Amino acid sequence: MNDHAELEQMLHLLSEELVFPPTPVISERVKRSIPHRRPPRVPGALMTVALIALLLLTPPARAAIQSVFDAVGIEVRISDREMNGTDLPLLDESLFGVPVSLEEAEIAFGRPLVIPTHVLPEPPAAIYLLQPEGSSGLTSITMVYAATDDLPGIADTGVGAIFTQMVGSGDQPWLVKTILPSATSEPVSTGVGPGWWIEDGRLGTTSGTDSRVSGHVLIWLSDNRGYRLESGLDRDTSILVAESLEHR
């Protein structure tokens, strides 16, 4: 005889009476987010994220400024102090380079560019090319997207998103993302590679102490390229953008 038969009967009755929160229409969002091609798996991605998480949980490893995650050409640092340099404009040349056409960008990049297909409107409003001297062939292409109803602006700039893809030497970072004590940051797994999510950080370069306030930033690695998405989008939507990349 089951000791709890009566109670179980009550629980079964309870399940018929329960009113759960209404189920959202998830299928539509999933349908919009499924890329047309399957992104390749990145070996060791989970291991990298686990190592990053371990680093953060270890107090000595958090000391002062430290590099915690190097995407190709992008370095993430944790800082225990505010930065003192000049505030740069949102699209400063030292950060993203000079305006070019899509065709010029692709020729300079030397391989097919990828384009986000989730949320960000096509085509980008502007494209920038950066090939800093002494950076071991590092090339960065940045696509700037105007704010829309689905893409909130960064501060009051009218810019909705700044998407950068970089190739080159991984030991010569150019963009430096600094996480201040007040910032929110965490390692994330994007499904196409390991990444880092930062809210309220600052963006600078290795060449000086100048920097600027940035929107929410997702940095991730995939296919030996480094990627960076700066926008007002939340973490999960940014990850969906990362997972939506398609070759042009």
Partner 1 sequence: MESSSDDELIARAQRGDNVAYDALVRRYQELAFRTAWVILLHEQDAQDATQMAFLKAWKAIGTFRVSDPFRPWLLRVVANEAKNRRASRWRWWQTHVFGMESTEISPGGTPDQLVGRSETSAALLDAISTLSVNDQQIVLMRYALDLSEAEIAATLAIPRGTVKSRLHRALARLREVVDPNE
Q: How far is CA 94 from CA 29, 75, 98, 133, 185, in A?
A: 37, 16, 9, 12, 24
Query: With the C-alpha atoms ordered 241, 44, 138, 93, is the resulting torsion angle positive or negative?
Result: positive
Q: Report the residue from 24, 60, 110, 134 that binds partner 1 according to the rule CB under 8 A.
A: 24
19 binding partner 1? (CB under 8 A): yes
Q: Which residue, 10 or 107, is less far from partner 1 as judged by CB? A: 10
How far is 206 from 176, CA to CA, in rounded Å?
6
Least distance from partner 1 to the Cβ atom of residue 18, Å: 5
Residue 14, interface with partner 1 (CB under 8 A)?
A: yes
Question: What's the N-to-C CA distance of the chain in angstroms?
Answer: 67
Determine the size of the site formed for partner 1 (CB under 8 A).
37
Stretch of 24-32, 119-127, 140-148, 204-212 contacting partner 1, by CB under 8 A: 24-32
Q: Say which amino acid occupies 51.
A: L
Write down the least CB distance from residue 177 to partner 1, Å: 18
Q: How far is the CB of 16 from partner 1 (least distance, A)?
A: 9
Do residues 193 and 47 lie in contact, with contact meaning Cβ atoms separated by under 8 Å? Answer: no
Q: Is 11 in the site for partner 1 (CB under 8 A)?
A: yes
* Pairing of the two strands 159-167 and 139-146: antiparallel
Subset of residues 125 to 184 that bind partner 1, contact rule: CB under 8 A? 184
CB 226, min distance to partner 1, A: 21
Rounded Cα distance between 229 and 213, Å, is 14
Residue placing its CB nearer to partner 1 in the complex, 3 or 122: 3
Burial class (CB in 10 A: 0-12, 13-18, 19+), 36: exposed
- Our finding on whether 21 is near partner 1 (CB under 8 A) is yes
Binding letters toward partner 1, positions 176-215, x by CB under 8 A: --------x-x----x------------------------
Q: From the CB of 110, what's the least distance to partner 1, in Å? A: 28
User: Cβ neighbours of residue 166 under 8 Å, at least 6 residues apart?
Assistant: 71, 72, 73, 74, 138, 139, 140, 141, 174, 175, 225, 226, 227, 228
Q: What residues line the site for partner 1 (CB under 8 A)?
A: 3-4, 7-8, 10-15, 17-21, 23-27, 29-31, 33-34, 38-39, 56-57, 59, 184, 186, 191, 236, 239-240, 243
